[in-house]
């Protein structure tokens, strides 16, 4: 760690990033490390070749915007988690209390990413119900309740589930399904590390986990969803589960999310795993 770029999302974590930024700058000064500090919106103005380490102060959305600059490079990501969910940090054993110690120890873990044309995801992408929760939860609610806001939104949106017809392609296999929710996961942890959509869903296994929930009835939907997060998943008339390294979703226009950031997809969505493509400072993978 010789030349560090500190990237700060001032809106992250109910604006706690200001406090964390001061701690990071003090830490780098004490270590005598050369660094530059910028706001997230100015990231595109930076020549990344000047830096060997990028420290992200923010949440999963902040990291998602930094990831394209890290893919298959020697640059290493350090994380100071202060977003709404901080799912990647939780998966890697990083918290606000130990983040600087982890950066100081410089233990590098290589993790997979999901690739969508020119976009990348470290955690997951979702459509239907999953996208509604992420994309339609008001920022004011997240500022007030933090991650619990998603739980409240989940209850609300479960009462008005909508079905859509999807066409999926896995190699030579074609699937037509009417579903209320599709989740494509690289890391499946939810609510920090309390639950996971798959105990086998790992950040460095070279495959993605795909869940398709078909039911519209809220009670049946939650029964299936609970089976998923308690790892009692199975493919049946109400849900599908499979693993793959490549997936195509036939599409005209659909709204979804990538690592918690809303996006409108136009045209077919091809998702590929890019194995061990990002280097990150962490405690290691479970």
32-58 pLDDT, tens digit per residue, is: 999 999 999 999 999 999 999 999 999
3-state secondary structure of 116: strand
Domain with residues 121-274, CATH architecture: Sandwich (2.60)
Q: What is the pLDDT of residues 71-105, one digit of tens each?
A: 999 999 999 999 878 889 999 999 999 999 999 99
Measured between alpha carbons, how far apart are the two ends of the chain, in Å?
25
pTM for the model: 0.87
> Which residues of the chain fall below pLDDT 50?
none
Give the C-alpha distances (Å, rounded to integers) separating 1 from 8, 24, 32, 107, 281: 18, 14, 10, 11, 11
Supply the CATH classification number for the domain 3-112. Answer: 3.40.50.10330
Map out the domains of the chain as residue ranges.
3-112, 121-274
Round to whole Å and give the CA distance between 80 and 97.
Answer: 9
Residue given tokens 């599409």 in the structure block: 251
Here the tokens at position 189 are: 């942890």
Round to whole Å and give the CA distance between 57 and 200.
Answer: 29
Query: Residue 238: its pLDDT value, please?
Result: 87
């Amino acid at each position: 760690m010789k030349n560090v770029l500190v990237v700060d999302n001032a809106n992250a974590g109910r604006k706690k990033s200001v406090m964390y930024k001061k701690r990071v700058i003090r830490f780098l000064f004490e270590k005598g490390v050369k660094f530059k500090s910028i706001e997230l919106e100015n990231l595109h103005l930076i020549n990344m070749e000047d830096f060997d380490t990028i420290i992200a102060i923010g949440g999963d959305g902040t990291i998602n915007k930094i990831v394209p600059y890290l893919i298959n490079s020697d640059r290493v990501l350090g994380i100071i988690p202060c977003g709404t969910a901080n799912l990647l940090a939780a998966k890697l054993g990083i918290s606000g209390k130990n983040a600087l110690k982890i950066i100081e120890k410089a233990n590098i873990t290589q993790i997979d990413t999901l690739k969508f044309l020119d976009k990348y995801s470290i955690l997951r992408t979702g459509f239907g119900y999953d996208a509604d929760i992420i994309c339609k939860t008001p920022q004011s609610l997240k500022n007030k309740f933090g991650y619990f806001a998603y739980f409240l939104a989940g209850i609300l949106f479960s009462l008005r589930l909508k079905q859509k017809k999807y066409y999926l392609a896995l190699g030579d296999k074609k699937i037509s399904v009417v579903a209320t929710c599709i989740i494509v996961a690289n890391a499946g942890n939810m609510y920090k590390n309390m639950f996971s959509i798959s105990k086998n869903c790992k950040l460095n296994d070279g495959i993605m986990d795909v869940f398709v929930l078909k039911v519209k009835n809220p009670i049946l939907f939650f029964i299936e969803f609970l089976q998923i997060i308690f790892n009692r998943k199975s493919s049946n008339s109400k849900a599908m589960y499979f693993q793959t390294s490549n997936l195509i979703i036939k599409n005209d226009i659909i709204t979804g999310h990538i690592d918690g950031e809303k996006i409108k997809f136009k045209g077919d969505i091809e998702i590929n795993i890019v194995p061990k493509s990002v280097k990150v400072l962490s405690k290691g993978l479970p």
